[in-house]
A and B are shown apart, each in its own frame.
Chain A
Amino acid sequence: MVMMDGMIPTPTPPADPRDRGGALQPLLIVRDLIKHFPIKGTGGRAVRAVDGVSFEVRKGETLGVVGESGCGKSTLARLLLHLIRPNSGELVFDGDPVDEPHGISVSALRRQVQMVFQDSYSSLNPRMPVRDSVAFGPYVQDKPKAEARDIAVNMLAKVGLNPDQFGPRYPHELSGGQKQRVNIARALATGPRMVILDEPVSALDKSVEAQVLNLLRALKRQFNLTYVFISHDLNVVRYISDRVLVMYLGKIVELGPVDSIFSAPRHPYTQALLASRPSMDPSRRIDDPPVTGDPPNPIDPPPGCRFHTRCPHAQAVCSAQEPRLIESLADDRHIAACHMHDPESGHTMAVAGSA
C-alpha cells in the first residue's frame, strides 16, 4: 500500500487509436482557469468560484477533487467540459488547445469527455425511456438510429441493467442507484476517454454507493478511462483516487498522490478536513473541532491565504500575501499552497515545515 516517493501510481494505459500526444502527454492540462459570476446591482462584485486554477490530469488516472460547498469544485467540473465558459484560462486536451483556431473544437472535446452528475433524476429526460436517453448521445454524434440503439442496449448491460427489463422504463420507474447506472451508461455511450464525475454517489444510500463505486472502477479498467472524481466525501475519494486535489474558496490548496495526502497532509486546511472525519469508533470520539467557523463567502474571499481566517497557524504574512503552490523537497509531486512550506515566506514555522 505504501507508495515509494516519486513513483507514478497509475499504470500506463494501452495505446488508444485516438491518442495523439503519447503516454506522457497529460490527457488534460488546465492553466490559470478563472470563472467569476457577477452579481447584479452590486457594482461589479462577483462570486469568485474558480480563481486561477492550474493542474494536469494524467492518462489513465483518477484525479479526486475534494472541498466543501462553495469551494468551486462543481464550477470547475463544468468548466472542464465548457458547459460554462471561463473568464480566462486555457484547456489543453491531449496536446490540443480547446476552442482555439489551431486546436480542437468544444464539440470535438465533448466526444472525448463526458460527465455524470450528482442528481441522477434531473440529468435524465423524464419523457424518454432510459434506453433512448442512452442512445441519444451516439445518435447526435452521427450514428444511425439502429446502431445508436444497439450501443445503448450494450451499455445498459455493461452497467448491470438488463436492457430488456430496464431499457423501456422511464426514469421515475427506477431507483436512485439504477438511475445513476443509466447516467453512467449514457456518459459512456459516446465512447469518451475521460469522464468527469461530479458527486456521482453522494445522493445514494451507503449500500448502493458501494455498488456504484465498484462499477465505476470496473468500467474504468474495461474502457481505459481517465476519471476526474469530485466529492466532498474524503473516504470515497481516498478509495477511488490515484491523486487528490484539495480546493478551498476557488483555489487549489494542495495536490498530490493519494497516500501522501492522506498520511502526510501539508496544508492546515487539508489537515483539518481529514481530522473532521468521524472516527467510526465510539471509544475514540473527537472532543474538539479541528477548525472553528464556516468557510467564508466566495463573494469577498479573505485576502492573502484564503484559509487564514480559520487557520490555527495564521500569522501576519498569511493575510498579507497569497501563498505560492510549493513543491516539497522530499516529494516533488506533492504540492501545497501554504507559507509554512515556503522557506522565503517569512512565516516563523516555515523552516520546520519545509525540511
Chain B
Amino acid sequence: MNKTEPLAEVRDLKVRFVGREDTVHAVNGVSFAVHPGEVLCILGESGSGKSVTLRSLMRLLPDRARIEGDVRVGGQDVLKMSNRSLRDLRGGSVSMIFQEPMTALDPVYTVGEQIGETVRRHTGCDKAKARARALELLNLVRIPSAERRLDAYPHELSGGLRQRAMIAMALSCDPKLLLADEPTTALDATVQIQVLILLRKLQAEMGMGMIFVTHDLGVAAEIADNVAVMYAGRIVEYGPVERMMKAPLHPYTQGLLASTVHDQSRDQDIDAIPGSPPDMRRPPPGCGFAPRCVKARDVCRTAVPAERYPEPGRMAACVAVEVPEMAAA
C-alpha cells in the first residue's frame, strides 16, 4: 500500500529481561513497519510489551535486556550500531517523548538551555543560534509568551506546558520519526485533547512518521492511522484504526472495546474480560490470551496462532478469525 521505504522496520523482535531469579519475556516476536507520514499506535495494557518495543527502536533498554531480531531505523541496523552512532540517531532523525515531562526534563536547566543543547549537539551551531531555534520551537508548539518561557525551569511550568516543551525538544532537529510513549496519559482531560490535536497537526505539517504508544482506545481513535494491538508481548491484531474500532477481529480487541466504559447502559454490568493478564515470567505456551478467551480451543493453549489476513491491510493472530477464500489465495 505504501511504496516508500519504511522509516522503521522491525522483524521478529524478542526482548527478555534476565534477572538472577527469573527472566521476563517482555516481547515475543513482534514485526511491523512505519512509513513516512504514518501514525502507528501500539495499543496495549501494562505489561503487554508496548513500551519495551518502542524503546527497542532507539535501544533505550537496560543492559540486562536481551534483544533479538532485526530493528532497522532509517535503513540502519539499530541492534548493531555503536554507542556513538546511536547518540547521533537519538534526538536527531529519531526522537522520543515520554509520559512524565517532569522526569524527562532536567530540573536544573532552563527549558531554553535544554532545547538549545540538543540543537547544538546535532547541528554544531553556536549558542545564539540554538537559542533562536529554541524560541522558534516553543512558538511551534504554541507555548504562550514563549520568549519568557525560554528562561523558565521545568518546575515553573504547568503540566501541559512542560509536555509542550518536551515536544519542542523532540522536534528540534526535524526528526523523520517521532516515538511517543503515552505522552498524554498524565495530563488532565482538557489538556490531553490539546496536546493530541497539537501532535496530530505537527505530524501532518512536518510529514513525520510517528509511533504512539497508548493504553487508551479513545486516544488511539483520535490520532492513529494504523493500530497494532499488543497482548502478552505479541501483536494480536493490526490494521487501520477505523476498521478496528468498528469491527475488531481478535477476541482480545473485542473484549477491550466491550469493557471500555463509554455510554453503556447503567442498568447493566459492563462486559468485562475475566481474569488478568499473564505473568510474563511464565508466559503461556500457546496464545497469550487463551486463558481469558471465551473462544479458546485446545489448540490455542498449545501453539501460538499464526497470523491471518482476512482483509487487505488487516491482520489478526487468532484461529477463530475466518479468512475468505479469495484473500487466502
A residues whose Cβ falls under 8 Å from a Cβ of B:
1, 68-69, 175-178, 205-211, 213-214, 217, 232-236, 238-240, 258, 272-273, 276-283, 285-295, 297
- Closest Cβ of chain A to B281, distance in Å, is 13
B235-266 contact mask (Cβ, 8 Å, vs A): 1 or 0: 00000011001000000000110011111111
Interface locus among B81-89, B114-122, B269-277: B269-277
Q: Is the CB of A205 within 8 A of B46?
A: yes
Measured CB to CB, the nearest residue on chain A to B163 is A294
Measured CB to CB, the nearest residue on chain A to B241 is A282
Contacts of B161 in A (CB 8 A): 294
Complex A-B: 29 CB contacts under 8 Å: A68-B188, A69-B159, A175-B276, A176-B46, A178-B276, A205-B46, A205-B277, A206-B45, A206-B260, A207-B45, A208-B272, A209-B259, A210-B259, A210-B260, A213-B270, A217-B269, A232-B188, A232-B189, A236-B261, A238-B261, A278-B216, A278-B219, A279-B218, A280-B218, A280-B245, A282-B221, A285-B221, A287-B197, A294-B159
Q: Is the CB of B190 within 8 A of A276?
A: yes
Q: Is the CB of B270 within 8 A of A239?
A: yes
Tally A-B pairs: CB < 8 A.
Answer: 132
Contacts of A235 in B (CB 8 A): 260-263
In this complex, how many residues of chain B approach chain A with their Cβ under 8 Å: the count is 47
Please report the C-alpha to C-alpha distance between residue A105 and residue B172 in the assembled complex, in whole angstroms: 60
Please report the C-alpha to C-alpha distance between residue A222 and residue B92 in the assembled complex, in whole angstroms: 59
Given that A273-B189, A294-B191 are known contacts, is A207 also in contact with B222, CB under 8 Å in the complex? no
Please report the C-alpha to C-alpha distance between residue A281 and residue B262 in the assembled complex, in whole angstroms: 12
B93 interface hit (Cβ, 8 Å): no
Q: Is the CB of A283 within 8 A of B242?
A: yes
B158 interface hit (Cβ, 8 Å): yes
Contacts of B265 in A (CB 8 A): 1
Q: Which of A277, A280, A289 contacts B194 (CB 8 A)?
A: A289
Q: Which of B218, B270, B274, B277 contacts A277 (CB 8 A)?
A: B218
B56 interface hit (Cβ, 8 Å): no
Please report the C-alpha to C-alpha distance between residue A69 and residue B189 in the assembled complex, in whole angstroms: 10
B206-244 contact mask (Cβ, 8 Å, vs A): 1 or 0: 000000000111110110100000000000000001100
Q: Which of B158, B263, B269, B272 contacts A294 (CB 8 A)?
A: B158
Please report the C-alpha to C-alpha distance between residue A238 and residue B261 in the assembled complex, in whole angstroms: 9
Q: Is the CB of A286 within 8 A of B222?
A: yes
Contacts of B292 in A (CB 8 A): 207
Q: Is the CB of B245 within 8 A of A68?
A: no
Q: Is the CB of B215 within 8 A of A205?
A: yes
Q: Is the CB of A290 within 8 A of B193?
A: yes
Q: Is the CB of A68 within 8 A of B189?
A: yes
**Seed contacts A69-B159, A282-B222; 12 additional CB < 8 Å A-B pairs:** A207-B277, A232-B189, A233-B261, A276-B189, A277-B189, A278-B193, A278-B196, A278-B222, A279-B222, A280-B245, A294-B160, A295-B190
B110 interface hit (Cβ, 8 Å): no
Please report the C-alpha to C-alpha distance between residue A209 and residue B272 in the assembled complex, in whole angstroms: 8
Please report the C-alpha to C-alpha distance between residue A295 and residue B190 in the assembled complex, in whole angstroms: 9
- Closest Cβ of chain B to A104, distance in Å, is 33
Contacts of B264 in A (CB 8 A): 239
Measured CB to CB, the nearest residue on chain B to A239 is B261
Contacts of A239 in B (CB 8 A): 261, 264, 266, 270
Measured CB to CB, the nearest residue on chain A to B261 is A235
Contacts of A209 in B (CB 8 A): 259, 261
Measured CB to CB, the nearest residue on chain B to A178 is B276
Please report the C-alpha to C-alpha distance between residue A239 and residue B215 in the assembled complex, in whole angstroms: 20
Contacts of A205 in B (CB 8 A): 45-46, 215, 277
The 10 lowest CB-CB distance pairs between A and B, nearest first, are A278-B218, A210-B272, A68-B188, A210-B259, A294-B158, A205-B45, A207-B273, A210-B270, A289-B194, A294-B160
Q: Which of A240, A286, A290, A294 contacts B188 (CB 8 A)?
A: A294
Measured CB to CB, the nearest residue on chain A to B158 is A294
Q: Is the CB of B217 within 8 A of A206?
A: yes
- Closest Cβ of chain B to A326, distance in Å, is 23
Q: Is the CB of B190 within 8 A of A273?
A: yes
Please report the C-alpha to C-alpha distance between residue A208 and residue B45 in the assembled complex, in whole angstroms: 10
Q: Which of A280, A293, A297 contacts B221 (CB 8 A)?
A: A280
Contacts of A279 in B (CB 8 A): 218, 221-222
- Closest Cβ of chain A to B250, distance in Å, is 13
Please report the C-alpha to C-alpha distance between residue A276 and residue B184 in the assembled complex, in whole angstroms: 13
B31 interface hit (Cβ, 8 Å): no
Contacts of B197 in A (CB 8 A): 286-289
- Closest Cβ of chain B to A298, distance in Å, is 12
Q: Which of B193, B215, B259, B277 contacts A289 (CB 8 A)?
A: B193
Q: Is the CB of B256 within 8 A of A206?
A: yes
Q: Is the CB of B193 within 8 A of A286?
A: yes
Contacts of B259 in A (CB 8 A): 206-207, 209-210
Please report the C-alpha to C-alpha distance between residue A286 and residue B189 in the assembled complex, in whole angstroms: 13
B192 interface hit (Cβ, 8 Å): yes
Contacts of B192 in A (CB 8 A): 276
Measured CB to CB, the nearest residue on chain B to A292 is B194
- Closest Cβ of chain B to A74, distance in Å, is 14
Contacts of A69 in B (CB 8 A): 159, 188
Please report the C-alpha to C-alpha distance between residue A240 and residue B266 in the assembled complex, in whole angstroms: 7
Given that A214-B269, A234-B189, A239-B270 are known contacts, is A207 also in contact with B218, CB under 8 Å in the complex? no
